[in-house]
Amino acid sequence: MAGEGDAFPGLFFFGENDMPKIDLAAVPERLGCPYPPPFDAPIAGRVRKRLGAAGGLGDVGVNLTMLPPGNWSSQRHWHTHEDEFVYVLAGELVLVEDGGEVLLRAGDCAAFPKNTGDGHHLVNRSAAPATYLEIGTRAPDDLTTCSDVDIMSSAADGRFVHKDGSAY
């Protein structure tokens, strides 16, 4: 196709209007999560494709995520400056928040406004993989705090630290 983008792997242009189309097969898969051990274990099988980054988006993140049975999307967390939204494409997931749990099936969605202090994550308790879209803002001042474990991370440097600020 004409105009294959070099700056963003997986980005292709087509047709007379040079409309951007992301080649999903060309977008790298990222396995697991960079949490420090042992907090990374429940997320070890998560597979994420960073579609927003592949398309050159800077202010909005869009991830296509596959969660195998028994895996979590992340540690339960909340953001100070970032809104998040998930849309389940296939399978079923349990959304866990302070107020309890709710089952999400294909076609269901959930929104997580910034700075609520209410940590959330998704858990695949079914026998089949689940696939969903994650959409969120990218705020340079964001601080992510994990609700149930001693982890925080600043968007400014991406490092995981203890809640008192000390390094792992």
In a domain, 19, yes or no: no
pLDDT of residue 141: 95
In a domain, 22, yes or no: no
pLDDT of residue 19: 59
Instruction: Write out the residue range of the structural domain in which residue 71 sits.
Output: 34-161
Q: Domain count of the chain?
A: 1
In a domain, 24, yes or no: no
In a domain, 66, yes or no: yes
pLDDT of residue 14: 46
In a domain, 20, yes or no: no
For 32-62, letters b (16+ CB in 10 Å) and e give ebebeeebeebbebbbbbbbbbbbeeeeebb
In a domain, 81, yes or no: yes
For 19-65, how does the pLDDT look when each residue is reduced to its tens digit (9 = 90+)? Answer: 589 999 999 999 999 999 999 999 999 999 999 999 999 999 999 99
Q: Which residues of the chain have pLDDT under 50?
A: 1-8, 12-16
* CATH, residue 86: 2.60.120.10
Smallest Cα–Cα separation from 87: which of 134, 154, 46, 123? 134
Measured CA distances, 75 to 6, 47, 57, 71 (Å):
34, 15, 25, 11
Measured CA distances, 128 to 42, 48, 61, 93, 103 (Å):
16, 17, 26, 10, 14
**Nearby residues of 159 by Cβ (< 8 Å), 6 or more positions away:** 153, 167
How many Cβ atoms sit within 10 Å of the Cβ of residue 22? Answer: 22
Q: Give me the percent of the chain exceeding a pLDDT of 70.
A: 89
In a domain, 28, yes or no: no
In a domain, 29, yes or no: no
What is the overall mean pLDDT for the chain? 91
pLDDT of residue 3: 37
- pTM, two decimals, is 0.86
